Amino acid sequence: MEKYVLKVIDLSAGYSGNWVVKNVSMDVPHNKAIAIMGPSGCGKSTFIRCINRMHEVVPGASVKGKILLEGEDIFEMHPVKLRRRVGMVFQRPNPFPTMNIYDNVLAGYILNGIKLKKEEKDRIVEQSLKNAFLWDEVKASLYKKGTFLSGGQQQRLCIARSLAMNPNILLLDEPTSALDPKAQAMIEELITELKKTVTIILVTHNRAQAARVSDYTAFMFLGEIIEFDDTAKMFTAPKDKRTEEYLTGKFG
Amino acid sequence: MKGDRLFRIVLWIVAGLFSAMMVFMLASLLKESLPSIKAFGMHFLYGKEWNPVVDKFGLLPFLVGTLITSVLALIISVPFAMSIALFLGMFSKGGFWPKILGYGTDLLAGIPSVIYGFWALFFLVPIVRNFEMKAGIVPYGVGIFTASVVLAIMIIPYISSISKEVIKLVPRDLIEAGLALGATDLEVAKDVVLPYCRSGIVAGILLGFGRALGETMAVTMVIGNSNSLPKSLFAPANTMASVIANEFTEATTTLHLSSLIQIGLWLFILNAIVNVIGMLIIKKMEVK
């Protein structure tokens, strides 16, 4: 097994020749939670969208550099195959409004036209919802529309939907910024549980959240990674002056 | 405010007048068709014969002609219209050619129907005739099939432009969620985008259907104007609208004219039914 689940080597990404992410390199170990924090517009979302190649979906997008997923170059993989191994949860909860909760969990299989036996489906749905701390709340209403759930429940449903595909990596793009504090706390608890089995890369502009849930933190500023270190170390003794200023709230 | 109140009253009056207009039209259609209603009763609806010489009038051949041409037109046009709508609403990333294509399809909706009829007469009819000769069918060239093709071309812009607009309204979030789960563009279109906007698409299709039901000029020119019940898809026939256009100038007897007006009344009712069914379907299909 590779030492790192993900190796980012000199990655730059942008739109129409305008580089938003500049020469980023990063090694991500297995089954850890990595937080990427920084002020808005620093390129952190663009960066993680490169990891599942969602960045390329936007017209005019450009990218250079290398990303290795367990040693394989992701830019040589088919994006469809890559995205089954790298799940993503978005800022705003986005369960499919035309599907019920059960089908939402299985959406990855349904969309990809993968046929499963009924027992297998039941097992995946139950397991994924349990892993996402949602099973007890929805087990009685699996066949109701997912859009009737609360914001926090919808976001956990989206996490369950990603987990159902058994990804190596789960990308979370500010997953709690549209949620109330209680729902946020629940998602954070979920993240600390999930990292036992899957590598988590979390984008956040919430410094406290990064400190609470992550093992490693990267501080991004103007498209560059200023510092990438053990979370405890970075928050107690940042090496770079800009990191220190950000952590103490001087900007962003 | 005083001005506000006046404004509201004016709006009420204008809207009221317009609705009254519709009631008035319906009433006058009803009044003018009374002689034929008295003469034939319900038999008018399922009467198979339309013979002005002996003053015998039945609606059935035209009702059948209208429904067959319109349904066939829908079957032909929907796949094309959906492809155009998906391309323009979801796949094309803007640029010169997609824009031209968008304007082009919208422009098709503005062409007067007599031009469609003319074009079909000189271009489509010979092709169909050729095909009929090869297939060993009586080579009229004109008939139900030709009319349906013309209708299909005429309603594609309606269906595609409404569908394109509703496809554009699908939240970017949902499309990205589908892609991020490893779905291909086709799978996202089929399982995320189309289900999300099905009510809008149904609305577009029904608008096209309504237009096909009432389309007169182009159909009259290429359907062959036969007053008997159509025996095949390639047979000449008449639709409700085309028989009215064809015969109203030569209707000399009261009964003939009144029967034509009664056809108009039924066309009116048919369109209303399609609209109501459409609204019910749209309501039921709405994504909440």
Residue B53 burial (10 A CB sphere; 0-12, 13-18, 19+): exposed
For the segment B19-45, the average pLDDT, to the nearest whole number, is 93
Closest Cα of chain B to A91: distance in Å?
Answer: 9
Task: Give CA–CA dist B151/B219, Å, rounded.
Answer: 7
Report the residue count for chain B.
288
> Any CB–CB contact under 8 A between B286 and chain A?
no
Residue A192, classified by CB atoms within 10 Å of its CB into exposed (0-12), middle (13-18) or buried (19+), is: middle
Residue range B57-76: average pLDDT?
A: 96
Instruction: Using the predicted structure, report yes or no on whether residue A252 has a pLDDT greater than 80.
Output: no
Inspect the interface and report whether the beta carbons of A90 and B177 lie closer than 8 Å: yes
Q: Which residue intervals of chain A are DSSP H helices?
A: 44-51, 79-85, 101-105, 107-111, 118-131, 135-138, 151-163, 181-194, 207-213, 231-236, 241-247
Nearest CA in chain B to A89: B177
Alpha-carbon gap: A214 to the closest alpha carbon of chain B (Å): 23
* A–B CB contacts, 8 A cutoff, strictly below: 72
Of B93, B176, B184, the CB nearest to A80: B184
* Main-chain phi, psi angles of A42, to 5 degrees: -85, -5
The angle that helices A181-194 and A151-163 make with each other, rounded to 10 degrees, is 20
Beta-carbon-side half-sphere exposure of residue B82 (alpha carbons within 13 Å): 18
What does the pLDDT average to over B100-116?
90
Contact A83 B176 (CB under 8 A): no
| Structure confidence at residue B60 (pLDDT) | 95
Mean of per-residue pLDDT scores for chain A: 93
Residues of A in contact with B96 (CB under 8 A): none
Q: For residue B131, count CB atoms less than 10 angstroms from its CB and return exposed for 0-12, middle for 13-18, buried for 19 or more.
A: middle
pLDDT at B64: 95
What Cα–Cα distance (Å) separates residue B131 from each residue in B123, B137, B166? 13, 9, 38
Average confidence score pLDDT of chain B: 92
Delimit the domains of chain A by residue range: 4-247
Average pLDDT over residues A238-242: 92
Q: What is the CATH number of domain A4-247?
A: 3.40.50.300
Residue range B89-117: average pLDDT? 88
Residue B67 has pLDDT above 80, yes or no: yes
The tokens for A133 are 């701390």
- pLDDT band of residue B1 (cuts 50, 70, 90) is confident
Is the predicted pLDDT of residue A236 greater than 70, yes or no? yes
Tracing tokens 């490169």 back to the chain, one arrives at A50
**B184-211 average pLDDT score:** 92
* Chain A hits for B184, Cβ within 8 Å: 80
Residue tagged 């498209």 (tokens): A223
Verify whether the Cβ–Cβ distance A165 to B181 is below 8 Å: yes
Do the chains contact at B180 and A112, CB–CB below 8 Å?
A: no
pLDDT at B279 > cutoff 80: yes
Q: Tell me which residue has tokens 């589908």.
A: B178
- Residues 6 or more apart whose Cβ sits within 8 Å of residue B173: A90, A92, A94
Token pair, residue A29, equals: 């170990």
Q: Collect all residues with Cβ–Cβ distance below 8 Å to A72 and sequence separation of at least 6.
A: none
Q: CB contact, 8 Å: B187 with chain A?
A: yes
Q: How many CB atoms lie within 10 A of CB B224?
A: 22
Measured between alpha carbons, how far is A21 from A225 in angstroms, rounded to an integer?
A: 9
Closest chain B C-alpha to A64 CA, distance in angstroms: 20
Amino acid B177: pLDDT: 95
Neighbour-count burial for A153-188, b at 16+ CB within 10 Å, e otherwise: bbbbbbbbbbbbbebbbbbbbbbbebbeeebbebbb
Domain B34-285, classified CATH 1.10.3720.10, yes or no? yes
Q: How far is A84 from chain B (nearest CA, A)?
A: 5
Ordered by start, the domain boundaries in chain B are 1-32, 34-285
Average pLDDT of B22-35?
A: 93
A99-119 average pLDDT score: 94
C-alpha R_g of chain A:
18
Q: Which residue of B179, B182, B192 is in closest CB contact with A96?
A: B192
**CA B262 – CA A6 distance, rounded (Å):** 76
Cβ atoms A188, A209 nearer than 8 A? yes
The residue type found at A215 is D
Residue-wise pLDDT tens digits, A123-154: 999 999 999 999 999 999 999 998 889 999 99
Share of chain A above pLDDT 90, in %: 87
Q: What is the pLDDT of residue B143?
A: 94
Helix (H/G/I), strand (E/B), else coil: A213: helix
* Residue B176: predicted pLDDT: 94
Calculate mean pLDDT across residues A229-249: 92
- Per cent of chain B over pLDDT 70 is 99
Q: Which of B65, B32, B41, B49 is nearest to B260 (CA)?
A: B32
Mean pLDDT of A42-61: 92
Burial class for A106, CB neighbours closer than 10 Å (0-12, 13-18, 19+): buried
Chain B residue closest in CA terms to A59: B93
Residue B153: pLDDT band by 50, 70, 90 thresholds?
Answer: very high
pLDDT of residue B287: 67
User: Residue A33 corresponds to which tokens in the numbers above?
Assistant: 């939670």
What is the predicted pLDDT for the residue at B288?
57
Convert the pLDDT of each residue in A200-222 to its tens digit: 999 998 899 999 999 999 999 99
CB B220 within 8 A of CB B117: yes
Bridge partners of A29, per DSSP, are A4
CA–CA dist A182, A189 (Å, integer): 11
Say if residue B286's pLDDT is above 80: no
For residue B174, the chain A residues in CB contact (below 8 A) are 94, 96-97
Residue A1: pLDDT over 70: no
- Token pair of A62 as six digits: 């450009």
